[in-house]
């Protein structure tokens, strides 16, 4: 702040003074821009004013009201401004979010599959004895499904509760490498519920496939294990 830089321009070298900085995730964290036009020394300088609205306020209605009250003013919605300035970055982040969601569902299915295979191997003889006592394959499969889905549901609940504080802490560490701070992750309840449902559905599917294959084998073979 306050430093003077000599910048080469079409009309020759110009000395510019840094009067302000702002965060810019696309340029190493901090950016200062030189804008040709009116300055604070001019009789009618250009001014940028940020207006914070309450949650119940309608941004388009407020924009129309300001435009009507102050002719010549240019009102830009923050969302539209971000789309214009960071459209590519937002698109990449959205793609990454979907990719990581798919990876998370795949990992959940893999862990559920490994767990059910381990449980079936360890309890192979006991389930065979229960089958010989009269328990049906449906009864035994339901038992394993309940156990796996209960564990997955607890894991999903803990992950949802920890996503906010832990996710923002991890994001702060990552973004701090490019000198960006103060960014907060926004969690969508709909997306979170959909993700949780997909994780549970994948765990149920993997468990159902593995238990069906296991209990379709002959009872005598399972008793020999």
Residue 225 vs residues 69, 115, 184, 219: alpha-carbon distances, Å = 84, 19, 54, 10
Band the pLDDT of 38: cuts 50, 70, 90.
Answer: low
CA distance 143 to 214: 14
User: So what's the pLDDT on residue 46?
Assistant: 64
**Tell me, what's the pLDDT at 129?**
74
Average pLDDT, the chain: 75
Distance of CA 117 to CAs 35, 81, 112, 147, 208, Å?
65, 52, 9, 13, 11
Phi-psi region at 94: left, alpha or beta (left = phi > 0; alpha = psi -120 to 50): alpha
Domain ranges of the chain: 1-45, 81-224
Per-residue DSSP letter, 42: S
User: Whole-angstrom Cα distance, residue 160 to residue 196?
Assistant: 9
Better pLDDT: 19 or 22: 19
Give 215 or 64, the one with higher predicted confidence: 64
**The pLDDT value given to residue 42:** 56
Q: Which residue has the higher pLDDT, 221 or 64?
A: 64
Radius of gyration of the chain (CA): 30
Q: Give me the mean pLDDT over the 25-36 stretch.
A: 58
Q: Residue 27 pLDDT more than 70? A: no
How many Å apart are CA 206 and CA 59, to the nearest integer?
A: 47
Q: Are 140 and 131 in contact (CB under 8 A)?
A: yes
pLDDT (0 to 100) of residue 180: 63
Asked whether 140 and 130 are in contact (CB, 8 A), the reply is yes
User: How confident is the model over 115-119, as a mean pLDDT?
Assistant: 83
For the stretch 46-105, pLDDT in tens is 667 777 777 766 777 887 888 888 877 877 777 777 776 667 767 777 888 888 888 888
Can you give the pLDDT at residue 24? 60
Burial label, 192 (beta-carbon count in 10 A; 0-12, 13-18, 19+):
middle
**Alpha-carbon gap, residue 106 to 70, rounded angstroms:** 55
């Amino acid at each position: 702040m306050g430093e003077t830089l000599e910048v080469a321009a079409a009309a020759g070298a110009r000395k510019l003074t840094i009067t302000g900085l702002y965060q810019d995730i696309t340029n190493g964290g901090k950016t200062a821009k030189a804008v040709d036009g009116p300055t604070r020394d001019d009789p009618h300088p250009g001014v940028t004013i940020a207006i914070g609205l309450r949650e119940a306020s309608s941004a388009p209605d407020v924009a129309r009201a300001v435009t009507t009250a102050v002719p010549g003013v240019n009102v830009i919605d923050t969302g539209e401004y971000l789309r214009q300035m960071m459209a590519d970055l937002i698109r990449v982040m959205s793609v990454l979010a979907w990719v990581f969601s798919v990876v998370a569902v795949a990992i959940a299915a893999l862990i559920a599959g490994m767990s059910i295979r381990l449980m079936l191997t360890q309890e192979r003889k006991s389930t065979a004895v229960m089958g010989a006592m009269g328990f049906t394959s449906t009864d035994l499969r339901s038992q394993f499904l309940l156990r796996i889905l209960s564990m997955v549901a607890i894991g999903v609940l803990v992950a949802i509760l920890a996503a906010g504080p832990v996710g923002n802490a991890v994001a702060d560490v990552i973004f701090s490498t490019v000198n960006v701070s103060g960014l907060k992750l926004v969690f969508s309840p709909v997306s979170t519920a959909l993700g949780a449902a997909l994780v549970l559905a994948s765990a149920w599917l993997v468990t159902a496939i593995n238990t069906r294959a296991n209990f379709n084998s002959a009872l005598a073979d399972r008793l020999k294990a």
